[in-house]
Amino acid sequence: MSEGRLDSAVAATGYQREWFQSLRATTTETPIAFVNADAPHEVLRAMGIPYVVNQWWASVIAAKRKGPASLARLVELGLPDDSRQYDALALGAQDLPVADAPWGGLPEPAFAIAERGGDVTHKIFELWGHRAETETYLLSRTGADPAPEGWWENVDHGWEEVFGSDRIDLLAAEIHDLIGWLEERTGRVLDHDRLAEIMALANEQAQWNRRTRDMLALARPTPIAVTDSIPSVMVPQWHRGTTWAVSAAKRLHDEVAARIEHGDAVCHGERRRLMWIGRGLWSDLEMYRSFQEEFGAVFVWSMYLAIAADGYARHGEDPVRALAARFVGLTDLLYVPPSSSSWYLKEALAHGVDGVVHLVADDTPGASFISAALEEHGIPVLEIRANNADSRSTENARVSERIAEFLRTRVPVRG
C-alpha cells in the first residue's frame, strides 16, 4: 500500500473541481447561494439551490496564490485589507478578471447568507448584497452560554440542554423565515421530508467521521497527513446531506483502517506529535510536513476531522429545530471557553500530543484560555497571531521559523 496521498483526498478534490465547473455551467438557469460556514446549508440542499461556502472558496483563492490580488481589490473599493481577510477574500476576488480568477471564478450569487457573527462578518455579507445580482439574508448570532462539561458525549441527542431552548427557538424561527424568503424568490417549496432525509444522511456522515477520528487518536505512528485528512473531510462537509458525502466519509474511514493495519506512517521516525489549533494555513500547506525530517515532528490533529466527529450530528423529530441546534452553538464549541478549551484538552490527551501550535486569528478572543488549559496540563503551546488566508500576515509571523524554535526548546522527543 502506498504511503503517498490518500486516495480519498485525491478523489474528494477531483470531485469538488468537477462539481464547481458543473455549477459554473448551470448558473444561467439556476440561482446559487454564497454562504458562510455557519449558515444552515441543509435548507438550500433540500430546496435544490446550489451553494458555495465562503471559507472553502477563500481556501481555494489562497491556495491558488490569488490572495494578494484579491486583497488589493478590496483596497481599490475603499475597504480594509488587514481585517478578517478570511471572510473578505472572496469579495475582493469577485472582481478579478476571469483569466486570473481561481477555477474561472465564482458565478455571481443570487443569495448571500450568513450569521451576524462579531462586528465584521455581517458587514462583509451586506456588501455582497450591494452587488447588482445578489440579495443578503442575515441570521442572528446569540450569546453563548457555557455548555455542560463533556458536551461532546450528548450533544447529538441532548442539544436542548447543551445550547438552551431559547437560543434554539430563535434560530429555528429565523430558519423558517429564511425558508419563506427563499420560497418567495425562487418559486420553490421546501419539502420537510426531504430535509429530514438530508439531516439523517448528515448524521450518518458524522458517525463515520467519529469512527475515523477515534482510530487516528489511537494510531502510533500516525498513518495519514493532516494535509490529506482536511480535504478528505471538508469537501464532503460542504456536500453534507448527500449520499456521495456519506460514501466519501466511509471511504476515508476504510482507507485509514487499512493504513493502520498495514503499519503505514506519515513519518516512520515520528518522535514528536503535534496538534494544530486554528484554521488551515491554506497559502502554505507544505509547512505541515516540513518538520518531519529534522525533528520527527508530525502534525497528527486538526480541528476539521475532530469537529466533524463531535460537532455536527443532531438527532430529532423536527428537522428545522435539529438544524437550528446544529448551527446555534457550533462556533461556541470551537472558540468559546470553557466549552472549547475542555474539548481541545480532551482531544490533545486522546491523541497523545507533545505540543500544540495555536494559530490565533483576529476574531478569536478566547484563544488565551484554550492555550492556558493545555499548558496547565503540561502540554506546551506556541501561539502565533496571524491570518491564515493572508500570506503577508503569515510571513510576518515567521510561522515556520517559530515552530522550529518551539520544537528545539519546548517540545521534548518522545521516549
pLDDT tens, residue by residue, 292-332: 999 999 999 999 999 999 999 999 999 999 999 999 999 99
Q: What is the pLDDT of residue 29?
A: 79
Arithmetic mean of pLDDT, 199-214: 99
HEC secondary structure over the chain: CCCCCCHHHHHHHHHHHHHHHHHHHHCCCCCCEEECCCCCHHHHHHCCCCEEEHHHHHHHHHHCCCHHHHHHHHHHCCCCCCCCHHHHHHHHHCCCCCCCCHHHCCCCCCEEEEECCCCCHHHHHHHHHCCCCCEEEEECCCCCCCCCCCHHHCCCCCHHHHHCHHHHHHHHHHHHHHHHHHHHHHCCCCCHHHHHHHHHHHHHHHHHHHHHHHHHHHCCCCCCCHHHHHHHHHHHHHCCCCHHHHHHHHHHHHHHHHHHHHCCCCCCCCCEEEEEECCCCHHHHHHHHCCHHHHCEEEEEEHHHHHHHHCCCCCCCCHHHHHHHHHHCHHHHHHCCCHHHHHHHHHHHHHCCCEEEEEECCCCCCHHHHHHHHHHCCCCEEEEECCCCCHHHHHHCCHHHHHHHHHHHCCCCCC
Q: Are strands 381-385 and 355-360 parallel, antiparallel or unpaired?
A: parallel
Asked if the model's pLDDT at residue 193 lies above 50, the reply is yes
Question: What's the mean pLDDT when you consider all of the chain?
Answer: 96
Mean pLDDT is lowest, of 12-21, 26-35, 289-298, 396-405, for 26-35
Grid cell at residue 384:
502565533
User: Which long-range contacts does 302-305 make (Cβ < 8 Å, 24+ apart)?
Assistant: 302/226, 302/229, 302/230, 302/276, 303/276, 303/277, 303/278, 303/334, 304/229, 304/230, 304/233, 304/234, 304/237, 304/280, 305/209, 305/212, 305/213, 305/216, 305/229, 305/230, 305/233
When pLDDT is averaged across residues 230-243 and rounded to a whole number, the result is 98
pLDDT for 334 equals: 95
Could you give the CA distance from residue 358 to residue 360 in angstroms, rounded to a whole number? Answer: 6
Q: How confident is the model at residue 28 (pLDDT cuts 50, 70, 90)?
A: confident
Query: What is the pLDDT confidence band of residue 1, given thresholds at 50, 70 and 90?
Result: very low
What pLDDT is stored for residue 264 in this prediction? 97
> Residue 324: its pLDDT value, please?
99
Q: Are 224 and 266 in contact (CB under 8 A)?
A: yes
The identity of residue 183, as a single letter, is E
Close Cβ partners of 395 (under 8 Å, ≥ 6 residues apart)? none
Interior/surface letters 268-306, b for 16+ CB within 10 angstroms, e for the rest: eebbbbbbbbbbbbbbbbebbbebbeebbbbbbbbbbbb
- pLDDT, tens digit (0-9, with 9 covering 90-100), for 211-231: 999 999 999 999 999 999 999
Rg (CA), the chain: 21
pLDDT at residue number 3: 64
Q: Which of 2-11, 344-353, 355-364 has the lowest mean pLDDT?
A: 2-11
Burial of 157 by CB count in 10 Å (0-12 exposed, 13-18 middle, 19+ buried)? middle
Query: pLDDT at position 278, please?
Result: 97
Helices 243-262 and 226-238, packing angle to 10 deg = 160
Phi, psi values for residue 107, rounded to 5° = -60, 150
For residue 119, count other CB atoms closer than 10 A to its CB.
10
Give the residue extent of every domain in the chain.
7-410
Please compute the mean of the pLDDT values over residues 133-160 and round it to a whole number: 95
What is the per-residue pLDDT across 31-66, written as a single tens digit (0 to 9) for each?
Answer: 999 999 999 999 999 999 999 999 999 999 999 999
Confidence of residue 352 (pLDDT cuts 50, 70, 90): very high
Rounded distance between C-alpha atoms, residue 87 and residue 61, angstroms: 12
- 136 beta partners: 112
At 2, the pLDDT band (50, 70, 90 cuts) reads: very low
- Distance between alpha carbon 297 and the CA centroid of its chain, in Å? 24
Residue 357 has pLDDT above 60, yes or no: yes
Residues 302 and 234: their CA atoms lie apart, in Å, by: 12
Give the C-alpha separation, 275 to 238, whole Å.
24
Residue 367 has pLDDT above 80, yes or no: yes
Other CB atoms within 10 A of residue 365 CB: 12
pLDDT at 311: 98
Residue position matching grid coordinates 480535504: 231
- Per-residue pLDDT of 68-112, as tens digits, reads 999 999 999 999 999 999 999 999 999 999 999 999 999 999 999
Q: Which of 24-33, 139-148, 186-195 has the highest mean pLDDT?
A: 186-195
Mean pLDDT of 185-194: 98
Full-model pTM? 0.95
